[in-house]
Amino acid sequence: MPSLDRILLPVDFSGRCQGAVRYAEALAAQFGSELMLLHVLPPPHYEFSALEVGGSVLNELFASRAAHVRKELNSYMERELQDVVVKRVLLEGDPARCIVGHAHAERVGLIVMPTHGYGPFRRFILGSVTAKVLHDADCPVLTGVHLEEAPPIESIAFRNVLVAIDLGDQSARTLEWANWLASSCGARLHLVHVTASIEGHAGEYHDPEWRDHLGGQVREEIAKLEQCTGTKAELVVESGDAPKVICKLAERIKADVLVIGRGSAAGVFGRLRTNAYAIIRESPCPVASV
C-alpha cells in the first residue's frame, strides 16, 4: 500500500523552489505527512576550488558557509509551513546521491523537486540532478516546470489524476499508485495509452480496419490490467506522438497531476522512457514518475 507519511523536498532557496514548497505543503496537509526540507552542501573543493587557500583556511571558510546555510535552512519559509510538521536536514556531498540516499534511509513516500534551480549552487541543482534522482530513487518523484509556478496554497487541489501507461512490466505498479492517489484525494482517474502511429507515407496503403483491431487489443489488455489491480479509470486510447497526445489530454481534462511509469534500476522505461523528459517539460501539470 503506498504511503505519503514522509515527503522529501530538496531546497536550494531559489524562487522556483518556493513553488515546489507549495505543492509539497498541499500534499502534506492532504495526507498528514511529515515534510522534510533537505539542503545538500557540496564538499569544500566544489565551492572553493578557485581559491588558493591552505587546508585550515579552507576548513574555516567551509564551516562558516555551513553555519550560514544551516541558519538559512532553519528559517526557510517558516511562516508558510507553520501548519505542517517540518523536519530540516543539512547534508554534505553529491546532491543527487544525498537526495536518493536520504529518501531511501527515511523510507520517504514521495520526492518533490523543481526541474531546475537558481542560486549560488545552480550547477548542482540543474536538470542533471533531477535526472539522476528520477533514475535512482526507489519512491515516486513529483517534478515539472509547473512546480515552479505554483498557485497559492489554498487553490491547489487534486481533482483529476491522469495516468499514462505503456503496458510494460511496471504498468500495474504505475496504475495502482495513480489509483491510490486519486482515491485518497477523491479525484477522478483518467487513463491514457498511446500507440505508435500506423499512418502510411503518402501514396502507401494501410488497412483501415487495422487501427480498430489494434485499439481493441489494447483495450483488452488494459481491461485485464484494471481487473488485476482493482482499478477502474476513464480510458483514452490514441495513436501518435506520446508526449503531445498525453500532454494535450492532460490539458483537455484539466489534470492536476500526471502519473507516468519509472523503474528504480532502469529509469523511466518502455515507450515512456524516451519520452519522459519531453512529457515532464510539456505537461500542463506536475508529473509524478512512479
- Which positions ≥6 away from 89 have C-beta within 8 Å? 36, 37, 38, 39, 102
Domain spans in the chain, listed from the N-terminal domain onward = 6-149, 157-289
Give the pLDDT score at 193: 95
- pTM, two decimal places: 0.85
Identify the DSSP state of 77.
Answer: T
Give the long-range contacts of residues 47-54, CB within 8 A, separation 24 or more.
none
Concatenated DSSP letters of 212-255: HHHHHHHHHHHHHHHHHHT---EEEEEES-HHHHHHHHHHHTT-
Q: Which fold has domain 157-289?
A: Rossmann fold (3.40.50)
The candidate with the shortest Cα–Cα distance to 76, out of 27, 18, 148, 145, is: 18
Q: What is the pLDDT of residues 75-95, one digit of tens each?
A: 999 998 999 999 999 999 999
| Helix-helix angle 127-136:95-105, to 10 degrees | 30
C-alpha cell belonging to residue 287: 508529473
CA torsion, ordered 198, 202, 205, 207, to nearest 10 deg: 30
- Which CATH code, of 3.40.630.30, 3.40.50.2300, 3.40.50.300, 3.40.50.620, is assigned to 6-149? 3.40.50.620
- 219 vs 175: CA distance, rounded Å: 15
Q: What is the pLDDT of residues 14-38, one digit of tens each?
A: 777 888 898 999 999 999 999 999 9
| 195: β partners | 239
CA 141 to chain centroid, in Å, comes to 3
Percent of the chain with pLDDT over 70: 78
Four-residue CA torsion sign, 106, 109, 114, 115: positive
Give the pLDDT score at 145: 66
- 269 vs 286: CA distance, rounded Å: 19
pLDDT band (50, 70, 90) for residue 117: very low
Answer with the residue of higher pLDDT: 18 or 7. Answer: 7
| Helix-helix angle 208-229:171-185, to 10 degrees | 70
pLDDT band (50, 70, 90) for residue 126: very low
CB-based contact 189:163 (threshold 8 Å): yes
Q: What is the pLDDT of residues 170-216, one digit of tens each?
A: 899 999 999 999 999 999 999 999 987 655 544 455 556 666 667 78
Give the pLDDT score at 116: 60
Give the pLDDT score at 244: 94
Same fold, 6-149 and 157-289: yes
